[in-house]
Amino acid sequence: MSRLQHIIPSGIIALVGIWVAYVSFTQQPAEAFLFPRLISVVFVTLALWTFGKALLGWSRVGQGVSLELAKTIAPGLIVAGIYIFWGAKTLGFYAAATIAVFLLITWYDGKPMTAVSSWVRRILITALIIAVLYGLFALLLSVYTPRGMFM
């Protein structure tokens, strides 16, 4: 097992964490980014810690990220990228999140696409996840979410 299998993924995650923290600390209005700042600082701390362990060779647990695993998670990363860089700003947080969650559940669900019951379950799970997101962000935390065409 190569150390690069731990160094490369943890380095990429650390870079993403640094980028998210930078964005949360530089965007205006500042009060709208209070919650993202808190989360991003924790995320960056854990990501840099993991990257440091990988550099020092202390991350000898697991097999690292194989090509097969990378192929498995690629569709999720593509959906997440489209959501982050286009969907949330264009469609709005909740509309884009609904589409992204539904696509991810549909892609990774092992049930046949022809079964009506699997489609009903996918729709119900998506609705439940979005309801929890709405309850958490809009009602409980009262934080800013990206506004778009549909909220």
65-121 pLDDT tens trace: 778 888 999 999 999 989 988 888 888 889 999 999 999 999 999 888 898 999 999
In this prediction, residue 46 has a pLDDT band, given cuts at 50, 70 and 90, of very high
Whether 102 and 120 have beta carbons less than 8 Å apart is answered as no
First to last CA, the chain: 47
Whether 63 and 9 have beta carbons less than 8 Å apart is answered as no
Q: Pull the structure tokens for residue 107.
A: 């892609």
The pTM for the full model equals 0.68
With a CB cutoff of 8 Å and minimum separation 6, the contacts of 10 are: 47, 50, 51, 53, 54, 59
In this prediction, residue 125 has a pLDDT band, given cuts at 50, 70 and 90, of very high
Select the more confidently predicted residue: 7 or 1. Answer: 7
Q: How far apart are CA 87 and CA 97, in angstroms?
A: 8
Q: How far apart are CA 68 and CA 26, in angstroms?
A: 37
